[in-house]
Amino acid sequence: MIAARLCLSAAITILAAIPLAAASDDLPIVTLRLSDGTVLVGRVVSEAEGKLRVRTALLGEIEIDDESVVDRTPGPVPHDAAANPVTPPTEPPAAPTAKTVAVSWTRSVSIGGSFISAPYEQGEIDEGNPGYTGKALGLPGEQLHAQFNLNLLRSGPADRWSLDSSFTFVDAQPTGRLTQAFKLDSTYSRLFHGRDFVFSNTAFRRDVVRNIDNSIVQSFGVGREFAVAKSRVLNIMPGVLVQREEKETIYDADVMFGFGFMETFSITNSRGVALDQRLIAKTLVEDLSLYSIDAYVGVRAPLTKRMMLQAGLQFDHDEMLGLQQTKLPGTDIILYANKKSSLQLTTGIQIGF
């Protein structure tokens, strides 16, 4: 009698467990890769309070910390994984050789500008007074604005090189040329530990209107990348610099030393629309009051696979320009009339090639 009761109890227990096992078998199979390199293949039975209970074919149900899971892939069990559902940690793969390293290039040019015809008559205004012309009276005439940019970017697994150049020309009659500036900026950086990198930046500038004949600044430093996500990247780069400039000042052609920092930030959404921001601030050791600031913020939006619409705001402030003297034509009066700051809005079409 006792034996019969034991058999009946065992049968009830087995029948009660069958639906649970069937329900567990209906759970999707996942592959979990842990931080120590272990690979688990099975079904996640429960998730609660930072713990995962995973049912595997070889180990049964085991419990692991949620934080230890670095990759979770749904789908059927691969043949080799089914045979070996638990893979012990292995040595990291050897670094790729130069032949297998992927290097990508990004190249683009952008062209923008505008032309406005003369809003006032520039020729003879009154037939009875031949000398009275719109040009002689200083009435606003034609306005021409043109800008050209060339950008190159080479990205490797451990290094990055960029070249950014621009030429801006603005002429407004009867005032004449307002801007004729050329800029060239080259930056090279290389990772040496985690997200830390060393960098070198070479900047050249020439501006005919602002009497900047030549400006060459070489910077070196160490930076760190703060990647909030793949779509949001912040770089901070403090460093030292050496420069030689010709701006018609007492420091012309002198080699001067200084220090400062660079900062870049970019955001890109899923549709490829990007916000770019850059800030460069530096000062000179010989005179800390001779500082400069170069800032930019702009937006890029894709039109086609190779074309983008871009708009940006460029601001720069240079304390050394305040030393420049301008003589008033026809007089002995010396003016310090040049402004230390410049603000420019640029728009155009960027074309990749």
Q: What is the pLDDT of residues 102-154, one digit of tens each?
A: 688 889 898 888 888 877 776 777 676 666 776 777 778 888 889 899 999 99
Percent of the residues in the chain that have a pLDDT greater than 70, as a whole number: 76
Whether the per-residue pLDDT at 78 is higher than 60: the answer is no
pLDDT at 25: 57
CATH C-level class of 104-352 = mainly beta
Whether the per-residue pLDDT at 70 is higher than 70: the answer is yes
What does the block give as tokens for 27? 């759970």
| Residue found under tokens 């009275």 | 132
The domain segmentation of the chain, as residue ranges, is 23-87, 104-352
Top pLDDT among 85 and 227 is at 227
Whether the per-residue pLDDT at 98 is higher than 50: the answer is no
CATH C-level class of 23-87 = mainly beta
Top pLDDT among 288 and 320 is at 288
- Computed over every residue of the chain, the mean pLDDT equals 79
pLDDT at 274: 92
The mean per-residue pLDDT over the stretch 247-251 comes to 81
Confidence of residue 218 (pLDDT cuts 50, 70, 90): very high
pLDDT at 329: 64
Top pLDDT among 126 and 284 is at 284
The mean per-residue pLDDT over the stretch 271-275 comes to 90
d(CA 217, CA 188): 14
State which H helix or E strand residue 53 sits in.
strand 51-56
Confidence of residue 6 (pLDDT cuts 50, 70, 90): very low
Whether the per-residue pLDDT at 3 is higher than 80: the answer is no
Contact criterion met (CB below 8 Å) for 346 and 314: yes
Q: What is the pLDDT of residues 286-311, one digit of tens each?
A: 889 889 999 999 999 999 988 989 99
Whether the per-residue pLDDT at 325 is higher than 70: the answer is no
Top pLDDT among 99 and 163 is at 163
Give the C-alpha distances (Å, rounded to integers) separating 352 from 111, 272, 277: 12, 14, 20
Q: What is the pLDDT of residues 8-61, one digit of tens each?
A: 444 444 434 444 444 455 677 888 887 777 777 788 887 877 788 887 766 677
